[in-house]
């Protein structure tokens, strides 16, 4: 989530400039909590046979199965959130001619946020569930370095969902270079609005490129569940959608009158996005969305799913990026204490729930593809939430506390640097919205949460 303790509109910086308020988007934390619950329920429904699948010989529940199966969109939501949160500071710097984010603090923040908790899971899973399969040092180093998706049959038991973390890590590593290239392209324009439009062109191309890789990975010649299906190339489109939202949100902040028309429509009608997301979700659950099972889909069904998941994740997250405030019902839905707490511990929930699924089935002797959905949910969700809470307060938060010693990245890079592009701050009623917004600092985002 973007942090943002901010100056009020019209405040003066140390250089004599009017300082731009730093915005806090608390609803994004709640959305992470929702996505974490969705991905957990998807895996529980698959393992208990609620979702049809050949791998477990399950026929599935014809009513609940499609609903839980479509909750698989939670991972695209995480990817969109990552692209949004991590690229927004770069986009702001590009639009306002402020210095780009320093790389050393950026990489330290990412490493300290994701690696300690991930390493704890990896070591535990290797010792508890994979001891017989570890026959050499590479079998240990491969998952610790998040390289287990790049070799066939290398996924450790209890860590199957961490394929998406490999996509996140690849994005973290390449984002500074991508942001530098985008900045070089965008700054040829003089004003923020034109710069934003120049940024949207290559980002849109990345969305199409991701769809192209998705199509390639589902060609009949690739066979079912090819290794490449788990590589970052298929999911770059979701990350690019987040970067597009970051760009639109940034230009709406610094030059509201230069905001592209679709985002201005969103500002006026934010609820329309959630209505669209609900319709897309319903379509994905219906026969129009293709087979609602966990088997590897053919090319046509895969591309329908890809398009619907792009639409759902885009429309769910888009209204949460509005810099002048979000509707009250969205704040109530996503900023309540329960979802904020789940968002805070969502990374741990994501990491541990599959491990506990394997522990539950191994301990009880229940055959995979069977089991009481509600009983398994209670056991796995309870253990995951407890472990995630302990992980956050005893490991993740202390690790993040090391950041000041290793070079803390500013919340808004270059906040005191002179700008050669005029920023238009909100005035009147919009300024009042700035002043009433929360200034609580946000927890760092990790898209795999």
Element (H, E) at 419: none
pLDDT at 435 over 60: no
Concatenated DSSP letters of 38-96: HHHHHHHHHHTTSSBBTTTTB---TTHHHHHHHGGGHHHHHHHHHHHHHHHHHHHHHHH
- Residue 22 CA, distance from chain mean position: 21
| Best CA proximity match to 28, nearest among 394, 429, 291, 344 | 344
How does the average pLDDT of the chain come out, rounded? 87
Cα–Cα distance list, 419 to 4, 182, 202 (Å): 20, 18, 25
Quick: pLDDT tens for 46-71: 999 999 999 999 999 999 999 999 99
d(CA 32, CA 241) in angstroms, rounded, equals: 16
Given a contact cutoff of 8 angstroms between Cβ atoms, the answer to whether 348 and 279 are in contact is: no
DSSP three-state, residue 293:
strand
Quick: pLDDT tens for 212-228: 999 999 999 999 999 99
pLDDT at 338 over 60: yes
Quick: pLDDT tens for 358-375: 999 999 999 999 999 999
Q: Which of 71-85, 329-343, 393-407 has the lowest mean pLDDT?
A: 393-407
Which letter does DSSP use for residue 12 in this model? B
pLDDT at 88 over 50: yes
Quick: pLDDT tens for 248-262: 999 999 999 999 999
Cα–Cα distance list, 390 to 111, 124, 269, 387 (Å): 19, 15, 40, 5
pLDDT at 408 over 80: no
Band (pLDDT 50/70/90 cuts) for residue 402 is confident
d(CA 145, CA 336) in angstroms, rounded, equals: 36
Place of tokens 């009158």: 257
Number of neighbours of residue 34 by Cβ within 10 angstroms: 19
Place of tokens 């969103």: 266
Residue 5's pLDDT is what? Answer: 29
d(CA 34, CA 361) in angstroms, rounded, equals: 25
Q: Does the predicted TM-score (pTM) go above 0.85?
A: yes
Residue 267's pLDDT is what? Answer: 95
Cα–Cα distance list, 368 to 234, 294, 361, 378 (Å): 29, 14, 7, 17
Q: Say what percent of the chain tops pLDDT 70.
A: 85
Q: Which of 21-25, 329-333, 377-381, 414-418 has the lowest mean pLDDT?
A: 414-418
Residue 8's pLDDT is what? Answer: 34
Between the two ends of the chain, the Cα-to-Cα distance in Å is 11
Residue 406's pLDDT is what? Answer: 65
Residue 424's pLDDT is what? Answer: 39
Quick: pLDDT tens for 254-302: 999 999 999 999 999 999 999 999 999 999 999 998 888 999 999 999 9
Overall average pLDDT of the 317-333 stretch: 92
Residue 100's pLDDT is what? Answer: 86
Cα–Cα distance list, 216 to 149, 210, 228, 362 (Å): 18, 10, 10, 37
pLDDT at 83 over 70: yes
Cα–Cα distance list, 39 to 181, 351, 354, 441 (Å): 34, 11, 10, 27
| Best CA proximity match to 21, nearest among 320, 325, 247 | 325
d(CA 446, CA 79) in angstroms, rounded, equals: 9
Residue 414's pLDDT is what? Answer: 29
d(CA 443, CA 346) in angstroms, rounded, equals: 11
SS3 content of the chain, % helix, strand, coil (to 5): 65, 0, 30
Residue 23's pLDDT is what? Answer: 66
d(CA 327, CA 271) in angstroms, rounded, equals: 8
Which letter does DSSP use for residue 131 in this model? G
In terms of pLDDT, which residue wins out, 8 or 238?
A: 238
| Best CA proximity match to 4, nearest among 317, 407, 411, 341 | 411
Q: Which of 60-69, 260-269, 387-396, 427-436 has the lowest mean pLDDT?
A: 427-436
Overall average pLDDT of the 159-170 stretch: 96
Which letter does DSSP use for residue 326 in this model? -
Q: Which of 27-31, 372-376, 399-403 has the lowest mean pLDDT?
A: 399-403
């Amino acid at each position: 989530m973007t942090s943002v303790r901010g100056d009020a509109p019209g405040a003066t910086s140390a250089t004599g400039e009017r300082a731009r308020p730093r915005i806090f988007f608390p609803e994004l934390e709640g959305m992470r909590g929702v996505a974490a619950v969705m991905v957990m329920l998807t895996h529980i429904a698959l393992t208990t046979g609620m979702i049809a699948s050949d791998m477990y010989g399950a026929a599935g529940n014809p009513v609940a199965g499609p609903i839980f199966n479509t909750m698989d969109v939670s991972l695209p939501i995480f990817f969109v959130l990552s692209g949004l949160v991590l690229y927004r500071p770069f986009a702001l710097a590009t639009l306002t001619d402020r210095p780009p984010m320093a790389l050393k603090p950026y990489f330290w923040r990412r490493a300290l946020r994701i690696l300690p908790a991930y390493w704890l899971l990896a070591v535990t899973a290797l010792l508890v569930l994979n001891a017989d399969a570890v026959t050499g040092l590479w079998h240990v180093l491969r998952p610790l370095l998040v390289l287990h998706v790049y070799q066939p049959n290398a996924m450790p038991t209890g860590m199957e969902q961490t394929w998406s973390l490999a996509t996140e890590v690849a994005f973290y590593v390449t984002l500074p270079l991508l942001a530098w290239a985008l900045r070089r392209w965008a700054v040829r324009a003089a004003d923020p609005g034109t710069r934003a439009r120049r940024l949207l062109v290559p980002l849109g191309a990345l969305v199409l490129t991701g769809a192209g890789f998705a199509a390639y990975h589902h060609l009949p010649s690739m066979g079912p569940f090819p290794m490449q299906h788990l590589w970052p190339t298929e999911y770059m489109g979701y990350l690019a959608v987040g970067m597009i939202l970051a760009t639109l949100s940034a230009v709406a902040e610094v030059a509201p009158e230069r905001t592209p028309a679709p985002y201005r429509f969103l500002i006026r009608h934010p609820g329309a996005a959630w209505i669209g997301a609900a319709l897309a979700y319903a379509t994905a659950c219906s026969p129009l969305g293709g087979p609602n099972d966990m088997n590897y889909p053919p090319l046509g069904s895969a591309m329908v799913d890809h398009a619907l998941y792009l639409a759902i994740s885009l429309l769910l997250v888009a209204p949460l990026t509005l810099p002048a405030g979000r509707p009250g019902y969205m704040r109530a839905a996503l900023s309540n204490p329960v979802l904020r707490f789940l968002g805070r511990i969502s990374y741990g929930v994501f990491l541990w729930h599959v491990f506990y699924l394997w522990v539950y089935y191994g301990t009880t002797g229940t055959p995979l593809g069977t089991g009481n959905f509600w009983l398994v949910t209670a056991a796995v969700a309870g253990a995951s939430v407890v472990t995630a809470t302990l992980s956050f307060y005893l490991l993740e938060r202390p690790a993040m506390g090391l950041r000041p010693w290793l070079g803390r990245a500013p919340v808004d890079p270059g906040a005191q640097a002179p700008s050669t592009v005029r920023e238009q701050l909100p005035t009147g009623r919009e300024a009042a919205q700035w002043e009433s917004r929360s200034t609580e600092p946000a927890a760092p985002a990790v898209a795999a949460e």
